[in-house]
Structure 1
């Protein structure tokens, strides 16, 4: 089995699309199709069921996938051990989210850009469920999660920091200065990013537990949500690190309500995955820099 065929197979198995795999590998789709056919011919089995426009792994494909990943990872590890051993190099696909990319990761990205120029970082912004699935499939090398849970099936993870949350509003908001219970928030206009964000989903669950259902005005991004809150459109629960500047300058105020849940920023990777040297270095630096931020 040729390594390049296994690399193509692993990519197609991860994204379950010949078209998407071709785009990510920078191949023509016909090349991906012919490489998969060549691998199937060499093994004498079909690795994918073709279901019209969709594909899925056959039983043979499911059995091959973990071996393909091991071979690819060992090849990368061997290459790193003998080429440019003194200077880390390689590609690194990182799953992350807006709040971390914009507010926690810039020092880490700056360090890698200047100190390790041969490490090519690819940041993919996704929410928790999508990040976990991409890690299990091998699409991402590592991923950042902001979750209440710290155990994730099929993944290994490490808590980097507890992530405080702040309920914020415009300075003239009627709830400012009051000690609030969850029930006091019912009936207030609620602002949020999209569903699937852990703190938004937990906030919604908490509000529903005392008298929902509740409805959020969705703004998609943290920046848009902050601006809407500062304009007096409602209240928003966001990671404290994302609103620190606005709280300091007074364009937002923190309301006196403490979330009954705790989120933790975590670094995760697929269980059993051998992390190449440059990925281990990234994890070490992430651990150091995020913990220093508090």
Structure 2
């Protein structure tokens, strides 16, 4: 079996789409289809059920997938052994705006300048979608911001707690009040990032008895501007509003979130991380300790 054919099969199995696999591998779709057909012919077994516009793995494909993954990892190990030296390779990373924009830049800058052979591909993916993509191997690593720290099929490493703060415009009526309770927030206009963001979902759950409605602005930056304009209040990681709090364009409300979130690194359980990915993980750990 050719490694090239196995790699193509693994990618199609991960994304369950010949079209998407072709785009991610940089092949024509016809080439991906031909490679999968060639592998099926060499094995004498159908690897995918083709159901109209959808595909799924056959039992034979399910049995082959862990071997394909292991062979790809062994090929990477062999390459490392032969070309030991400067770290190089691509790392696809699932992340979220509040981390990639405000928490990760020192890490990304370090890797870019110190290890130019490492190419980073950051993919905005939240919550359940990020975890499922990591289980399937679509991404090498994922930065998560969640209350939970253990997930089926994933290895995780907690980098640290992620402080949250409820903010408003300085002139907002709640800005001058102390010891706010969740009930005090009822009836206040709320601004939210997109659903699926852990701190947004947890905040919404806390306010559920009052049936809150959110003005959704989708991104952290848009949410901050809306709040600074007096459109409501928003819960965000403190790191995302550090500059605005220092400048006085936003004010921190005296409300303590009844939940704690942790920034974490995650990858598929049982996956041996290549050398350049291990280097990236080690730098993430180092910066988290500083």
What residue number does 2:164 align with?
165
What residue number does 1:199 align with?
199
1:6-85 superposed matches below 5 A:
6-83=6-83, 85=84
CA distance in 1, matches of 2:97, 2:175: 28
CA distance in 2, matches of 1:284, 1:12: 30
Q: Is the 8 A contact 1:104 1:290 kept in 2?
A: no
The Cα of 1:154 is off from its aligned counterpart by: 0.3
Q: Is the 8 A contact 1:170 1:232 kept in 2?
A: yes
The Cα of 1:291 is off from its aligned counterpart by: 2.8
What residue number does 1:186 align with?
186
The Cα of 1:177 is off from its aligned counterpart by: 2.6
SS in 2 for 1:188: coil
What residue number does 1:279 align with?
277
TM-score in terms of structure 2 length:
0.98
Comparing 87-96 with 263-272, which one deviates more in the overlay? Answer: 87-96
The Cα of 1:127 is off from its aligned counterpart by: 0.6
What residue number does 2:96 align with?
97
Q: Is the 8 A contact 1:168 1:253 kept in 2?
A: yes
1:233-248 superposed matches below 5 A:
233-248=231-246
What residue number does 2:259 align with?
261
SS in 2 for 1:273: coil
Runs of 4+ in structure 1 off by over 2 angstroms are none
1:208-247 superposed matches below 5 A:
208=208, 211-247=209-245
Are positions 1:149 and 2:145 aligned together?
no
CA distance in 2, matches of 1:28, 1:203: 45
CA distance in 2, matches of 1:81, 1:260: 49
Deviation string 1:97-126 (CA, Å, 9 cap, x unpaired) is 101111111111111111111111111111
The Cα of 1:39 is off from its aligned counterpart by: 0.6
What residue number does 2:137 align with?
138
CA distance in 2, matches of 1:20, 1:171: 47
The Cα of 1:77 is off from its aligned counterpart by: 1.6
Deviation string 1:118-168 (CA, Å, 9 cap, x unpaired) is 111111111121111111111111110000000011000000010000000
CA distance in 2, matches of 1:268, 1:280: 12
TM-score in terms of structure 1 length:
0.97
Deviation string 1:214-237 (CA, Å, 9 cap, x unpaired) is 111000100000000000000000
Q: Is the 8 A contact 1:80 1:89 kept in 2?
A: no
Comparing 159-168 with 125-134, which one deviates more in the overlay? Answer: 125-134
In structure 1, list runs of 5 or more residues that go unmatched: none
CA distance in 2, matches of 1:12, 1:165: 39
Deviation string 1:155-214 (CA, Å, 9 cap, x unpaired) is 000000100000000000101132211011111100011100000000000111xx2321
Q: Is the 8 A contact 1:229 1:236 kept in 2?
A: yes
Q: Is the 8 A contact 1:171 1:250 kept in 2?
A: yes
